[in-house]
Chain A
Amino acid sequence: MNDPRENPIQRGFDRRGFLQRAGWLSAGVAFSESVLNAQTARPLELSNTGPDDIPRKPFGRTKESLSVIGLGGFSLGSAPTQDEAINIVHEAIDGGVTFFDNAWEYHDGKSEEWMGHGLKGRRDKVFLMTKVCTHGRDKKVGLRQLEESLKRLQTDHLDLWQIHECVYDNDPERHFAKGGVIEALDEAKKAGKVRYVGFTGHKNPAIHLKMLSYNYPFDSVQMPLNAFDASYRSFQNQVLPEVNKRGIAALGMKSLGGNGQPIIQGVATVAESLRYAMSLAVATTISGIDSLAVLHQNLAIARGFKPMTAEAMKAFEKRCAAAADDGHLELYKSTMKYDGDLGREQHGLPGHKELPL
């Protein structure tokens, strides 16, 4: 029997875009001219390209540059001990990683605390990001979380502060409501406590585009980017070009599909998955690293990194597509597994214990 998933016409239909088919944004997304004419970023321009160096890429339209691989904060909090986490931070910095990710809600604060310990005396060597977790609540909650994040991270400012987990259809309207978290971003910038601002989410390109449709001057947008995404509710096809057109820095995450299932199931290897993600038009690829062994593995892949050719990327996408187009390799899009309990609570949904997937 023919494999129906090989049929290019049908594939084309599926890739036309979940957004349009779902009609979630039936009113259309109106982008203002001034935003579209913003200085274009050069997200593929590598610097620091010595054979033993971790290359860097520009952070959007700014003069900053970031290491092509970033250290994920959630997985840092999953390290077996605080000492191991601190060692991961130290070795990552020594290895040339400059981008550090975190979130106020990861492991109830443990991720930020451990990273704060690891960064003692090394704060100026990193571009430090954490995320605010209002999940629809007002700016006061956001600003209170900022103070807690700064305290835990043992610093007086963040390089980047992002709205965490925009994954519910009505998140954009809640965030942009009067008195909402967007006003907290403005105030924190004005107070000099954060340099840049952005938002994150793992669920659906339509929600990201809705966030962008408000034309707020975000500096960064974080999203899942990997070869599996290319054929399923694709951020790469729908959001990444829009973000780059606006000169906003794209931050990639979930290069291994969130839980490494594509690797475990033999669909792809770690090296090709990570290389693919880093070859996209992003400022950095945030990688979940919960042990020194994983750090060493990923640093070896990033060191002296040369982007894949367009042909090699296409071939890899094609190889993954048959397994990827029902979303079972991207559970963060297709299930509720990756939607945090705090966000669920704010949206009146049961927690993980009751509703694991």
Chain B
Amino acid sequence: MAEQNDSAGAIPQRQLGRTTVEVSALGLGGHHLGDCKTLEEASRLVHEAIDAGITFFDNCWEYWNGRAEDWLGFALQGRRDKAFLMTKVCTHGRGADLAMTMLEESLRRLQTDHLDLWQIHGVCFDNDPELAYAKGGVLEALDKAKKQGKVRFVGFTGHKDPSIHLDMIHRGYPFDTVQMPLNCLDANFRSFETQVLPELNKRQIAALGMKPMGGTATAVKSSLVTAEEMLRYAMSLPVATTIAGMDSLEVLRENVRVARDFKPLSSAQMQALRDRCSQAAGDGRHEVYKLSLRFDNPQARLSHGFPLDNTQKEVQEMLFNEAGGP
């Protein structure tokens, strides 16, 4: 993979933290993949991403009640070795046994015998770190899965508050990766970039950026910044990869265009972008995942006793499936 750095028009590969593995600086998000209209469309997206030089594939046990993993698994048939495959475990405070059951389901759906990276999904509630580190908690499942050779590396994710990430890190488990929202809005509001990213770099834990557009791209829609500026900003940070949601070939091609021959923004250019966003970003309006329960998945809400939001498509699908399906 390393030689791709020298070939013209390649998506850069970056080292994954303290490991010797390299991943593409642009990653394909699993949630948006499950939002494609058909399996064929999702499959075409994965194939074209691989051909373009994307190696990092994100997913999660709970995305679209399994559909996102099913579709990625189908698309990776015969191409598994070209991907650095990540999925997430969704215990949300529940125990290691449940996590191992979820791992087997993920492997089956993804049609593989191992994951390159397995992360604890959605560490978003104040007591999640405490529950993860408890005896019998999900961290024991990470150890077990590594020992069994079913996962190579482990980490955790979350979009809510830097203090919760720091709590997870400071309790001391040797994570290989940590995923978080990183974009030019974040720098001005409950900032992962200023509070968590330096801590990860210091510990040589690979930082995985997500939500380069702020989740719903309202900052782009309101013409505060362009999508290209946002993606370039996110990719210019000291991260191993930037996971972007791409639900159409058009978006994939646009992102690949930015990622090819990518040159990081200068620190002055980055500061200018942060400054431009500072006024609008100060109340969190363009990063709703930090304010609202909207981005906290149904499984997380159920296990913590939070109400579901029946207006969400994913929740409706889940309830439909639980009621026995069609």
User: Contact between A355 and B292 (Cβ–Cβ < 8 Å)?
Assistant: yes
- Bound-complex Cα distance A327 to B296 (A): 13
- Bound-complex Cα distance A323 to B222 (A): 40
User: Contact between A14 and B126 (Cβ–Cβ < 8 Å)?
Assistant: yes
- Bound-complex Cα distance A170 to B282 (A): 6
User: Contact between A348 and B136 (Cβ–Cβ < 8 Å)?
Assistant: no
223-278 of chain A: CB within 8 A of chain B: 232-233, 265
Q: Identify the closest chain A residue to B216 (Cβ).
A: A350
Per DSSP, chain B at the interface is loop
Asked if A309 lies at the interface with its beta carbon under 8 angstroms from chain B, I say no
User: Contact between B130 and A169 (Cβ–Cβ < 8 Å)?
Assistant: no
What band does the interface of chain B fall in when counting residues whose beta carbon is under 8 Å from A? Answer: 35 or more
Instruction: Please indicate the chain B residues that have their CB under 8 angstroms from the CB of A355 in the complex.
Output: 288, 292, 294
Contacts A265-B305, A326-B127, A357-B294 known; list 6 others, CB within 8 Å.
Answer: A4-B131, A4-B137, A13-B130, A171-B283, A334-B293, A349-B285
Q: Identify the closest chain B residue to A168 (Cβ).
A: B283
Given contacts A334-B293, A334-B306, A357-B294, A327 and B125 within 8 Å (CB-CB): yes
Give the Cβ gap from A64 to chain B, nearest Cβ, in Å. Answer: 35
Instruction: Please indicate the chain B residues that have their CB under 8 angstroms from the CB of A328 in the complex.
Output: 304-306
User: Contact between B307 and A170 (Cβ–Cβ < 8 Å)?
Assistant: no
Give the Cβ gap from B229 to chain A, nearest Cβ, in Å. Answer: 19
Asked if B135 lies at the interface with its beta carbon under 8 angstroms from chain A, I say yes
Given contacts A1-B135, A327-B125, A355-B292, A21 and B166 within 8 Å (CB-CB): yes
1-27 of chain A: CB within 8 A of chain B: 1-2, 4-5, 7, 10, 13-14, 18, 21-24
Enumerate chain B interface residues (CB-CB to A < 8 A): 93, 95, 125-128, 130-131, 133-137, 161-163, 166-167, 189-190, 195, 222, 280, 282-286, 288, 291-294, 304-307, 309, 311
Give the Cβ gap from A300 to chain B, nearest Cβ, in Å. Answer: 30
User: Contact between A233 and B136 (Cβ–Cβ < 8 Å)?
Assistant: no
Task: Mark each residue of chain A from 335 to 351: 1 if its CB lies under 8 Å from any CB of chain B, else 0.
Answer: 11100000000011110
Task: Mark each residue of chain A from 289 to 303: 1 if its CB lies under 8 Å from any CB of chain B, else 0.
Answer: 000000000000000
Instruction: Please indicate the chain B residues that have their CB under 8 angstroms from the CB of A348 in the complex.
Output: 222, 280, 283, 285-286
User: Contact between B125 and A335 (Cβ–Cβ < 8 Å)?
Assistant: no
Give the Cβ gap from A24 to chain B, nearest Cβ, in Å. Answer: 7
Instruction: Please indicate the chain A residues that have their CB under 8 angstroms from the CB of B162 in the complex.
Output: 22-23
Asked if A219 lies at the interface with its beta carbon under 8 angstroms from chain B, I say no
Instruction: Please indicate the chain B residues that have their CB under 8 angstroms from the CB of A357 in the complex.
Output: 292-294, 306-307, 309
Given contacts A168-B284, A336-B291, A21 and B163 within 8 Å (CB-CB): yes
Q: Which 3 pairs, one residue from A and one from B, show the smallest C-beta to C-beta distance?
A: A4-B134, A21-B163, A357-B293
Give the Cβ gap from B107 to chain A, nearest Cβ, in Å. Answer: 25
- Bound-complex Cα distance A10 to B284 (A): 29
- Bound-complex Cα distance A170 to B283 (A): 6
Contact of A326 among B190, B282, B284, B304 (CB under 8 A): B304
Contact of A233 among B126, B222, B305, B311 (CB under 8 A): B126
Per DSSP, chain A at the interface is loop
Asked if A138 lies at the interface with its beta carbon under 8 angstroms from chain B, I say no
List 6 contacting pairs A-B, 8 Å CB cutoff, sorted by A.
Answer: A168-B284, A169-B284, A171-B283, A232-B126, A334-B293, A347-B285
Enumerate chain A interface residues (CB-CB to B < 8 A): 1-2, 4-5, 7, 10, 13-14, 18, 21-24, 168-171, 173, 232-233, 265, 323, 325-328, 331, 334-337, 347-350, 355-357
Most chain B beta carbons < 10 A, residue from A233, A326, A328: A326
User: Contact between B293 and A335 (Cβ–Cβ < 8 Å)?
Assistant: yes
Instruction: Please indicate the chain B residues that have their CB under 8 angstroms from the CB of A337 in the complex.
Output: 293
Contact of A349 among B125, B130, B134, B291 (CB under 8 A): B291
Instruction: Please indicate the chain A residues that have their CB under 8 angstroms from the CB of B288 in the complex.
Output: 349-350, 355
Q: Identify the closest chain A residue to B294 (Cβ).
A: A355
Give the Cβ gap from A58 to chain B, nearest Cβ, in Å. Answer: 34
User: Contact between B167 and A13 (Cβ–Cβ < 8 Å)?
Assistant: yes
Given contacts A1-B95, A169-B283, A23 and B195 within 8 Å (CB-CB): yes
User: Contact between B126 and A325 (Cβ–Cβ < 8 Å)?
Assistant: yes
- Bound-complex Cα distance A2 to B307 (A): 26
Give the Cβ gap from B84 to chain A, nearest Cβ, in Å. Answer: 33
Instruction: Please indicate the chain B residues that have their CB under 8 angstroms from the CB of A1 in the complex.
Output: 95, 135-136
Instruction: Please indicate the chain A residues that have their CB under 8 angstroms from the CB of B305 in the complex.
Output: 265, 323, 326, 328
User: Contact between A21 and B167 (Cβ–Cβ < 8 Å)?
Assistant: yes
Instruction: Please indicate the chain A residues that have their CB under 8 angstroms from the CB of B125 in the complex.
Output: 326-327, 334
- Bound-complex Cα distance A336 to B292 (A): 5
Give the Cβ gap from B295 to chain A, nearest Cβ, in Å. Answer: 10
User: Contact between A356 and B283 (Cβ–Cβ < 8 Å)?
Assistant: no
Contact of A356 among B127, B136, B286, B311 (CB under 8 A): B311
Q: Identify the closest chain A residue to B93 (Cβ).
A: A326
Q: Identify the closest chain B residue to A4 (Cβ).
A: B134
Instruction: Please indicate the chain B residues that have their CB under 8 angstroms from the CB of A325 in the complex.
Output: 126-127, 130
User: Contact between A22 and B163 (Cβ–Cβ < 8 Å)?
Assistant: yes
- Bound-complex Cα distance A342 to B282 (A): 18
Instruction: Please indicate the chain A residues that have their CB under 8 angstroms from the CB of B167 in the complex.
Output: 13, 21
User: Contact between A4 and B294 (Cβ–Cβ < 8 Å)?
Assistant: no
- Bound-complex Cα distance A336 to B133 (A): 28
Instruction: Please indicate the chain B residues that have their CB under 8 angstroms from the CB of A7 in the complex.
Output: 130, 134
User: Contact between A22 and B130 (Cβ–Cβ < 8 Å)?
Assistant: no
